[in-house]
Chain A
Amino acid sequence: MNIIEVEDLWKKFKIPHERKNTVLDTIASTLSLFGGRRSTFEEFWALKNVTFDVAKGGSIGIIGENGSGKTTLLRIIARVMRPDQGRISVNGRIAPMLELGLGFHPELTVKENVVVFGTIMGLKREKLRKQIESIVEFAELKRFEDAPLNTLSSGMQMRLAFSVAVETDAEIILVDEALAVGDMEFQRKCLDRFKEFKKQGRTIVLVSHDMNLVTEFCDNALFLSRGEIVASGNTREVIKEYIRRVESQSVSLLTSDQATIA
């Protein structure tokens, strides 16, 4: 059994032409309904017929242009959104790193925030209590541990959040471009942590625009375009296809531009 199995997944978003999100608006438009005006919306398929598996201990990179459905897919795996059709099974605990520093509050201290975010990420209280020192140390923020969070720079805050997140003991790690935090040296440290995850046999799902990162980390890749899988399989092959597409697209854009000018 694969640790993540996604079969024929479809996800639809409704985009209303005029947004009604107050009771007053709704009453007003219901009244005008009698006058013949109907509220309309557009349907938009963010994911179409997406099927793939990830083996236990495997790592998969999801690539594609903006708006191709990468984040939606990640959110469905993280159980934050539900698909409209299809089947997904996840056989392990998930650590979603879709946003770092969830639940951070600027007025609480560094240590207090570690506990809040750590607990939200599913770390056990015992473990947090034992490891809080090493977390703060890994973030290189020992001096500030009792200072309120808002006295830290945003880079420092991200570093702190990252240091908490990597303490997870979940089998599956979902990452949405969260690796790009801190200066070069800290990034190096983070990459090392992720390599460790791989060695420990944990499963990694990575959404990124950084092709070098995807090549370095992922055995397999998935190329999404407008909600559909264009290519999947060996990372190098998929990235080659992606680059080929992007280049041919910009060429065709270029030629159509020239055509208009001419």
Chain B
Amino acid sequence: MVYMLTKLREGSMFEHRDVIWILVKKDFKIRYRHSALGFIWSLLNPLSTMTILTVVFSLLLKSGIQNFPIFLLTALLPWRFFSIGTMQATGSIAANPSLVKKIYLPRYVLVLTNNLASFISFLMEFTALLPIMMALGMTLTPHIILLPAVMIIEFLMVLGISLGLAALSVFYRDFYQIWEIVLQLGFFLSPIFYDPNIIPERYRFYYSLNPVTRIIESTREILLYNALPTAFDLATPLLIAVLLLAVGYTIFRRLEPRFAEET
């Protein structure tokens, strides 16, 4: 008996650039279609969190961190991209059965476009809140040219995690809920509303394994402390990002052949 698996010609990203672009546009339009206020809401969310945390920690608990509102925003925005990006992408395969079953698109396209739409939202939020941060006392320095590098590294992390989560949640439908809990923990395990130096020295290494920690610290270096992140500061998160991508993509490729049967 002839035993041979079909050779699948995997389309390159370039070949599918039209589909990727159109799906990102569609995703984006739907996110903000309901009202012109749609985008305003996505700005009000981090601003209100900022206000609440400022009242609690700066005024009531007297945490003593300088420029606390900016300190918060420089962390809240990347954190929002990380949590919303990964959460939205978790269902991107399972929630699109017809795009999986009825046509052959490389399935990573569904995850990638979802992430790209979240990424563009994040960039827009950042741009829109920049004047507010400056009004709150932040000064812009030429160091800001390094910010895109930090953002792209974060994007790669989000993509890696999303690929893994999206594939796993085809088979385990409660992965979304599990990830929600992990993110809740992550909010407290990332230096969002406290200075990472309060973490005891012996836990510092484990603490810094959290990928978001590095992103937040680099963002603050650039925007708040007017310092240039060193090559090492950027190399570690990049390494983590590449690692996450490798793991996420491997999981995705392993499970992909059965997507059409399970969605």
A is bound by B: yes
Complex Cα distance, B102 from A98, in Å, reads 6
Q: Does A147 contact B (CB under 8 A)?
A: no
**Given known contacts A8-B2, A22-B174, A79-B8, is B29 in contact with A102 (CB within 8 Å)?**
no
Closest 4 CB pairs of A and B: A99-B102, A22-B174, A79-B104, A119-B22
Other than the given A23-B178, A99-B103, A120-B103, 13 more pairs (CB < 8 A) read A21-B172, A22-B173, A26-B172, A80-B100, A80-B101, A81-B261, A83-B5, A86-B3, A88-B6, A89-B6, A99-B102, A108-B33, A116-B22
**Given known contacts A87-B6, A108-B30, is B260 in contact with A21 (CB within 8 Å)?**
no
Tell me if B33 and A107 are in contact (CB < 8 A).
Answer: yes
Tell me if B26 and A108 are in contact (CB < 8 A).
Answer: yes
Digitize B33-47: 1 where CB-to-A-CB distance is under 8 Å, 0 elsewhere.
100000000000000
Tell me if B98 and A102 are in contact (CB < 8 A).
Answer: yes
Count, chain A residues at interface, CB 8 A = 38
- A: residues with CB less than 8 A from B are 7-8, 13, 21-24, 26, 75-76, 78-83, 85-89, 94, 96, 98-99, 102-103, 105, 107-108, 112, 115-116, 119-121, 124-125
**Given known contacts A23-B178, A80-B260, is B103 in contact with A86 (CB within 8 Å)?**
no
Interface pairs (23), CB distance under 8 Å: A8-B1, A21-B262, A23-B175, A75-B260, A76-B6, A78-B102, A78-B104, A80-B100, A80-B260, A81-B260, A81-B261, A83-B5, A85-B2, A87-B2, A88-B6, A89-B6, A98-B103, A99-B103, A102-B99, A105-B30, A108-B26, A108-B29, A121-B103
Tell me if A86 and B101 are in contact (CB < 8 A).
Answer: no
Complex Cα distance, B262 from A22, in Å, reads 13
Tell me if A115 and B8 are in contact (CB < 8 A).
Answer: no
Complex Cα distance, B100 from A78, in Å, reads 11
**Given known contacts A7-B2, A103-B99, is B19 in contact with A96 (CB within 8 Å)?**
no
Complex Cα distance, B6 from A88, in Å, reads 6
Partner of A82 from B98, B105, B257 at Cβ < 8 Å? B257
Q: Which B residues lie within 8 Å of A24 (CB)?
A: 174
Tell me if B30 and A21 are in contact (CB < 8 A).
Answer: no
Q: Which B residues lie within 8 Å of A94 (CB)?
A: 104
In the complex, which residue of chain A has the Cβ closest to the Cβ of B109? A120
Tell me if A119 and B260 are in contact (CB < 8 A).
Answer: no
Q: Does B201 contact A (CB under 8 A)?
A: no
Tell me if A85 and B172 are in contact (CB < 8 A).
Answer: no
Complex Cα distance, B95 from A76, in Å, reads 22
Complex Cα distance, B30 from A83, in Å, reads 36
How many CB-defined contacts (below 8 Å) exist between A and B? 95
Q: Does B23 contact A (CB under 8 A)?
A: yes
Tell me if B5 and A82 are in contact (CB < 8 A).
Answer: yes
Q: Which B residues lie within 8 Å of A78 (CB)?
A: 102-104
Q: How far is the CB of B172 from chain A (nearest CB, A)?
A: 5
Q: Which A residues lie within 8 Å of B4 (CB)?
A: 86-87
Digitize B1-34: 1 where CB-to-A-CB distance is under 8 Å, 0 elsewhere.
1111110100000000011001100100110010
Q: Which A residues lie within 8 Å of B102 (CB)?
A: 78, 80, 96, 98-99, 102
Complex Cα distance, B172 from A43, in Å, reads 21
Tell me if A85 and B105 are in contact (CB < 8 A).
Answer: no
Tell me if B30 and A23 are in contact (CB < 8 A).
Answer: no
Digitize B88-106: 1 where CB-to-A-CB distance is under 8 Å, 0 elsewhere.
0000000000111111110
Q: Does B225 contact A (CB under 8 A)?
A: no
Tell me if A96 and B103 are in contact (CB < 8 A).
Answer: yes
Q: How far is the CB of A90 from chain B (nearest CB, A)?
A: 9
Complex Cα distance, B22 from A112, in Å, reads 10
Complex Cα distance, B105 from A121, in Å, reads 9
Partner of A116 from B23, B172, B174 at Cβ < 8 Å? B23
Q: Which A residues lie within 8 Å of B8 (CB)?
A: 79, 82
